């Protein structure tokens, strides 16, 4: 019998919900964490966040998961494109 060591979708879903809850709490969003679609854009039409909101999320995520998110990083647009992208980044880079 072969065991797979890759993260399961349940783990991914749990982290997505945890990150969504952090976003809702940090920004006092009027939406339930479970209602944030993983692939919906965080900017504009999706969740409707602006650059100040994203900075706030970056601060909360950095503190919670021990990440270094730099404001001048060219990867930020991709990282903060959706909840799924942000969660994937956290899963790959987290130190706690």
Distance of CA 82 to the CA centre of its chain: 7
**Do residues 27 and 56 touch, judged by C-beta distance below 8 A?**
yes
Terminal-to-terminal C-alpha distance of the chain: 31
> Which helix H or strand E contains 86, and what residues bound it?
helix 83-93
Whether 11 contacts 5, CB under 8 Å: no
According to CATH, what is the number of the domain 9-93? 1.10.1200.10
8 pLDDT above the threshold of 60: no
At residue 1, the pLDDT reads 44
pLDDT tens by residue, 29-71? 999 999 999 999 998 888 899 989 999 999 999 999 999 887 7
Residues 6+ apart with CB under 8 A from 21: 33
Domain boundaries, the chain: 9-93
User: Tokens 């990440």 identify what position?
Assistant: 67
């Amino acid at each position: 019998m072969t065991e797979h060591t890759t993260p399961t979708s349940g783990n991914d879903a749990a982290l997505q919900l945890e990150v969504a809850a952090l976003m809702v709490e940090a920004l006092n969003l009027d939406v339930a964490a479970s209602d944030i679609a993983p692939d919906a854009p965080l900017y504009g039409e999706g969740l409707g966040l602006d650059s100040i909101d994203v900075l706030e999320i970056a601060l909360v995520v950095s503190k919670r998961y021990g990440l270094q998110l730099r404001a001048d990083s060219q990867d930020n647009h991709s990282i903060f494109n959706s909840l799924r992208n942000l969660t994937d980044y956290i899963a790959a880079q987290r130190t706690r």
